[in-house]
Structures are given as structure tokens and as C-alpha cells.
Structure 1
Amino acid sequence: MSGADTAWVGDLVHDEDTGRRGIVTDVRGGSMWVLRPEFGTGRWTSRAPERLTVLMPRERMSQES
């Protein structure tokens, strides 16, 4: 679930390591975050959730769509 400090599935985030915005699509084993671009296709992973800044939590994302 979304918290103030930790990105979770459905959250729009900024990945500080890649300089990209994306949506968290999966958290595997509690140690690998899978992200897809906010727009377009593709995906990447992050093993540093502390480097993912939540821009819009999942709850607000569903209200905006």
C-alpha cells in the first residue's frame, strides 16, 4: 500500500536514478520495483525504493482518470 515514504503499485513516481517518471506496476519479493513509463511502452526496474519519489499516490491516480 502507498505510504508517505515508500512507492507502491499504482503510484506515479520520479525515479531519481534514471531521471524518469513512471508508474509502479509490481513489487517483486519486496526488493525489486517494476515501473512502466507514464506514457508509452517499455519498463524498467529499481532496487532502490528510497530513490523513487511519489508524485501522485495510487488513490489520487484512480480519481484523476
Structure 2
Amino acid sequence: MRIPDHLATYQEEHWMPHVEPGIRLPTLRAREKYRQAQDQWAGEHGLDRTQFERLLGEQRKTASSTN
């Protein structure tokens, strides 16, 4: 199983359009949206947060060893 790139690495430009108008700290809300999307994806794949983080760590380690 592979975590999609947009959930594996935070990119502010991807998440800012998801921030509701009038939010006082939009960058913080964008990060929250990112985290919520990660949790949703994990839940859809039967993973809890700990399992998701473990898979993410393995995926990042694999990616860095191939570069």
C-alpha cells in the first residue's frame, strides 16, 4: 500500500484552496485540512494514525534511499 504523494508531503499551495474564507490563521487551517485528509485516507484503508505514521516513515525511507 502506498500513501498518495499529496498526503505524504505537505505542500501549502495544494491545501490553501481548501481553507474556508474568513479563517484567522489560514496556514494553520491548511495544515489541519492536510492532517484530516491523511486521517480520512488512513481510515478508508483500515489504518489508525500510528499505522499511517509507520507506513509514511517507511515510504519516506524508501524514497530517500532511491534518490
Please report the TM-score for the alignment, with normalisation by the length of structure 1.
Answer: 0.29
Higher helix share: 2
Structure number with the higher strand fraction is 1
